[in-house]
């Protein structure tokens, strides 16, 4: 894990060098202060050397000023280093999420991902900044202090050395418990984020069912779980820091007592030696305190980094083959050959032996009762999921041999649950083609029968739609998503029609747009309304993951079989 973490320093070696150089220089300068103090006490004052005293005090002032300057450099550029590492890791994390397949997002909570990309990475950045400089400062100060102490008085230096192994052993022994506690707390924070997000996104349903109390109770459960985890973790931390504080505070007593005993027995220990040793112990305790504080931060950061690499180690289920290619032009003839599919968490086949053909530039409808597998079929064409058996071809090319980006660039989709980004109408339509001109934008809006409505708004195309398009009606959102596809202008169009909940005026406008959009392109419609079925060139009827009938609308009605039953009972 440490090896993987170190790689994030490589692009910022210059900043790291500046921060660490300042840390080392500051530590060395600090070690000189007690040595000068000892000389003043043991040499200058006994010999009444006023010039020496003044020079010594002046040197101490200079050292303090230089130490302050080094501290400024270290703090500023060290934190900037942490920010830039956090930036790199967040960018890498987000890019990795874009590569993951739908299977991953089907089984993960958005709140957990948000916790990783915000709270966890912020904690990791703090460790990235403090880890190298804290270790270097502490190591330099402790090493420098003991070199000086052994030079001044070996017996007293040995006494001062005795408590160090105990301090280090306690930190190592108890650190694992803290790490496990912090890891558990991070998981609970993710649960809280997920609960809040779920409740806020479904706030209309919550209020429409007057279930505010139920949501409060559900949140209370995760909040209590978080509180318990954090209280337990703070209990472990209290033991750790209490014992560590006892060991640190005892350090002064051990050194002073050792010095007094040596002086009492006539050993060669001067008052300057004892004061210098007390100052050195003070300078040693500061880095030890720094290391103790860092231990807490490091345990949190290590737990966060583990959660970070958990996601980074997940490989996408769907990847391009080494020899994946694109072709041109795309006409849009689509065939399914004995396709079988089931979701990763399911034991039941969702699609069974699907064989069908969709001619280029034709409109076909897939009909059937809810849960028949209609939406699953169209999800396989752009490779949102991959079938376990069978072959899907476009213009004779196996889609498994094609580049995902090429495949999806040539397929336009209007989904049943329309998603709009929390931005302007302009941004949402331009998402279909970010390089489109203003004329193309207006043309797409006109074809989607949404232009007149947009013009009636005070801010026109620059009107904010709200989160998930909450400020717009269902029909308006769907027409904006259709305008987005017009702007993309793909040769293959998939329309998971969801007009059943719309008013008749919105449905009429969408049907007019749909007629334009279907012209000269391959169109697949998941049918929910009879009006759409009648306009299709050909129909496939599904039941329990299988195609049970296919033909034109008239042919299927004449058979008076399953389709006739659905049609007469208005079940789709």
Residues 49-87: tens digit of each pLDDT = 888 888 888 998 999 999 999 989 988 998 899 889 989
* Model pLDDT for residues 107-127, shown as the tens digit of each residue: 777 767 777 787 788 888 888
CA quadruple 174, 175, 177, 182: dihedral sign = positive
Alpha-helical regions (H) of 325-473: 374-380, 404-409, 425-430, 438-447, 451-456
Domain boundaries, the chain: 2-312, 421-489
Per DSSP, helices labelled H in 265-336 are 271-312
Find the mean pLDDT for residues 224-232. 81
CATH superfamily, domain 2-312, is: ABC transporter type 1, transmembrane domain (1.20.1560.10)
The span from the CA of 476 to the CA of 459, in Å, is 16
Position 355 pLDDT exceeds 90: yes
Instruction: Please provide the average confidence, as pLDDT, over all residues in the chain.
Output: 83
How is residue 538 written in tokens?
Answer: 């050909």
Distance (Å, whole) CA 356 – CA 148: 85
* Range ranked top by mean pLDDT from 23-27, 130-134, 298-302: 23-27
Q: Which residues fall within 8 angstroms of residue 187, CB to CB, at 6 or more apart?
A: 229
CB–CB of 317/103 below 8 Å? yes
Q: Given this model, what pLDDT does residue 35 score? A: 81
**Residue 400 predicted with pLDDT over 90:** yes
**Residue 347: which residues within 8 A CB-CB, separation 6 or more?**
none
Specify the pLDDT at position 512.
79
User: E strands of 41-122, at which residues?
Assistant: none
DSSP one-letter string for 320-334:
--TT-B--S-----E
pLDDT of amino acid 316 = 82
Closest CA to 433 of 446, 421, 444, 419: 444
Average pLDDT over residues 201-224: 74
Q: Per-residue confidence at 568, pLDDT binned at 50, 70, 90? A: confident
Q: Is the pTM of this model over 0.85?
A: no
Return the higher-pLDDT residue of 250 and 336. 336
Structure tokens at 330: 């795309």
pLDDT at 498 over 60: no
Alpha-carbon distance of 413 to 95, in angstroms, equals 23
Angstrom distance (rounded) from CA 567 to CA 563: 6
Confidence of residue 197 (pLDDT cuts 50, 70, 90): low
| Of the candidate ranges 212-221, 358-367, 421-430, the one whose mean pLDDT is the lowest | 212-221
Contact 334, 361 (CB under 8 A): no
In the predicted model, what is the mean pLDDT of residues 254-258?
81
Confidence bin at 337 (pLDDT 50/70/90): very high
More confident residue, 252 or 448: 448
- Considering Cα of 249, then 250, then 255, then 260, what sign does the dihedral take? positive
Distance CA 111, CA 191 (A): 7
Q: Residue 209: its pLDDT value, please? A: 62
H/E element holding 176?
Answer: helix 163-201
Among the residue ranges 77-81, 380-384, 415-419, 453-457, the one predicted with the least confidence is 415-419
Average pLDDT over residues 211-233: 80
The fold adopted by the segment(s) 421-489 is Rossmann fold (3.40.50)
Question: Pick from 108, 124, 131, 107: which is nearest to 182 by CA?
Answer: 124
Res. 96 pLDDT band, cuts 50 70 90: confident
The DSSP result for 179-235, as a single string, is HHHHHHHHHHHHHHHHHHHHHHHTHHHHHHTT-HHHHHHHHHHHHHHHHHHHHHHHH
Say how far apart CA 562 and CA 365 lie, in whole Å. 15
What is the C-alpha separation between 226 and 110, in angstroms, rounded? 18
| pLDDT (0 to 100) of residue 538 | 92
What integer pLDDT is reported at residue 285 of this predicted model? 76
In this predicted structure, what is the pLDDT of residue 469? 77
Six token digits for residue 396: 């004779």
Per-residue pLDDT at 398: 94
Q: Is the pLDDT of residue 423 over 60?
A: yes
User: Around Cβ 435, how many Cβ atoms within 10 Å?
Assistant: 7
The residue with greater pLDDT, 420 or 508, is 420
What SS3 class is residue 497? Answer: coil
Higher per-residue pLDDT: 366 or 179:
366
pLDDT of residue 201: 65
Angle at CA 96, nearest 5°, toward 95 and 101?
A: 115
Q: Is 103 exposed, middle or buried (CB count within 10 Å of its CB: 0-12, 13-18, 19+)?
A: middle
- Residue 47 burial by Cβ neighbours in a 10 Å radius (0-12, 13-18, 19+): exposed
pLDDT, position 335: 94
Return the DSSP state at 490: -
What mean pLDDT do residues 151-156 have? 82
What mean pLDDT comes out for the span 186-208?
70
For residues 299 and 58, is the Cβ–Cβ distance under 8 A? no
The residue among 200 and 547 whose pLDDT is bigger is: 547
Query: What's the pLDDT band for 539 if we cut at 50, 70, 90?
Result: very high
Q: Span 169-191, mean pLDDT? A: 71
- HSE (side-chain half, CA atoms, 13 Å) at 101: 18
pLDDT at 501: 53
Q: What is the reported pLDDT for 530?
A: 67
């Amino acid at each position: 894990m440490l090896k993987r973490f170190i790689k994030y320093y490589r692009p910022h070696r210059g900043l790291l060098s500046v921060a660490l150089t300042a840390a080392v220089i500051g530590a060395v300068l600090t070690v000189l202060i007690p040595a000068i103090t000892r000389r003043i006490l043991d040499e200058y004052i006994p010999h009444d050397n006023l010039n020496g005293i003044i020079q010594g005090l002046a040197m101490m002032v200079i050292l303090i000023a230089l130490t302050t300057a080094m501290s400024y450099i270290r703090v500023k550029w060290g934190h900037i280093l942490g920010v830039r590492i956090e930036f790199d890791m967040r960018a890498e994390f987000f890019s990795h999420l874009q590569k993951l397949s739908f299977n991953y997002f089907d089984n993960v909570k958005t709140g957990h991902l948000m916790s990783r990309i915000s709270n966890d990475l912020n904690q990791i950045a703090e460790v990235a900044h403090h880890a190298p400089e804290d270790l270097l400062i502490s190591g330099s100060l402790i090493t420098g202090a003991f070199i000086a102490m052994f030079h001044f008085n070996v017996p007293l230096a040995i006494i001062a050395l005795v408590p160090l192994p105990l301090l280090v052993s306690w930190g190592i022994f108890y650190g694992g418990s803290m790490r496990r506690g912090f890891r558990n707390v991070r998981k609970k924070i993710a649960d809280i984020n997920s609960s809040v997000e779920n409740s806020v996104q479904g706030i209309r349903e919550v209020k429409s069912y007057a279930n505010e109390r139920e949501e409060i109770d559900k949140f209370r459960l995760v909040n209590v779980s978080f509180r318990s985890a954090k209280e337990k973790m703070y209990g472990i931390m209290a033991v750790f820091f209490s014992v560590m504080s006892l060991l640190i505070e005892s350090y002064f007593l051990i050194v002073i007592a050792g010095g007094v005993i040596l002086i009492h027995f006539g050993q060669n220990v001067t008052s300057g030696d004892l004061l210098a040793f007390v100052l050195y112990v003070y300078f040693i305790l500061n880095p030890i305190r720094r290391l103790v504080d860092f231990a807490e931060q490091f345990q949190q950061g290590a737990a966060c980094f583990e959660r970070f690499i958990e996601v980074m180690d997940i490989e996408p289920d769907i990847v391009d083959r080494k020899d994946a290619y694109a072709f041109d032009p795309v006409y849009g003839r689509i065939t399914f050959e004995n396709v079988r599919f089931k979701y990763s968490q399911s034991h039941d086949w969702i699609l069974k032996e699907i064989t069908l053909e969709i001619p280029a530039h034709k409109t076909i409808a897939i009909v059937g009762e809810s849960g028949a597998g209609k939406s699953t079929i169209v999800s396989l064409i752009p490779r949102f999921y991959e079938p376990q058996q069978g072959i899907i071809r476009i213009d004779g090319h196996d889609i498994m041999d094609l580049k995902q980006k090429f495949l999806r660039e040539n397929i336009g989709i209007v989904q049943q649950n329309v998603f709009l980004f929390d931005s302007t109408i302009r941004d949402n339509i331009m998402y279909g083609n970010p390089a489109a001109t203003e004329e193309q934008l207006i043309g797409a809006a006109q074809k989607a029968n949404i232009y007149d409505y947009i013009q009636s708004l005070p801010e026109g195309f620059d009107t904010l739609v709200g989160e998930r398009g909450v400020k717009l009606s269902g029909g308006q959102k769907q027409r904006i998503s259709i305008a987005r596809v017009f702007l993309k202008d793909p040769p293959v169009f998939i329309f998971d029609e969801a007009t059943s909940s719309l008013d008749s005026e919105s449905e009429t406008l969408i049907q007019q747009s749909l007629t334009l959009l279907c012209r000269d392109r391959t169109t697949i419609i998941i049918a929910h309304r009879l009006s759409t079925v009648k306009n299709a060139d050909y129909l496939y009827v599904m039941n329990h993951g299988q195609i049970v009938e296919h033909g034109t609308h008239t042919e299927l009605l004449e058979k008076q079989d399953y389709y006739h039953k659905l049609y007469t009972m208005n079940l789709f």
